Copies of this chain bind each other. A is one copy, B any other.
Amino acid sequence: MKNRLEEIRKQRGLKQEELAAALEVSRQTIGSLENGRYNPSIILAYKIAHYFQMKVEEIFIYEEEKS
């Protein structure tokens, strides 16, 4: 699972901390997602997509056969 979080966040001129606050998660969670340390829960993925007014699949890109 790849994601375009860092790209989209920067497009919007947001700091990790600001995005984290808006989504009610920790700054470390945002950093960990951006750097691929883990995948978001489906709930968080939806919150992110909703916040950016995008589709989940526009932000999180599934790559077959990888966990």
Give the B-binding residues of A (Cβ under 8 A): 1, 39-43, 45-46, 50, 55-57, 60, 62, 64, 67
Contacts and interface: CB of A to CB of B under 8 A. Distances in A.
A62 B57 CA distance: 14
Which secondary structure dominates chain A's binding surface?
A: mixed
Contact of A56 (B39, B40, B43, B56): B56
7 contacts: A39-B41, A42-B42, A42-B60, A46-B60, A55-B55, A56-B56, A56-B57
Contact of A67 (B43, B50, B56, B60): B43
A45 B43 contact: no
Contacts of A56: 56-57
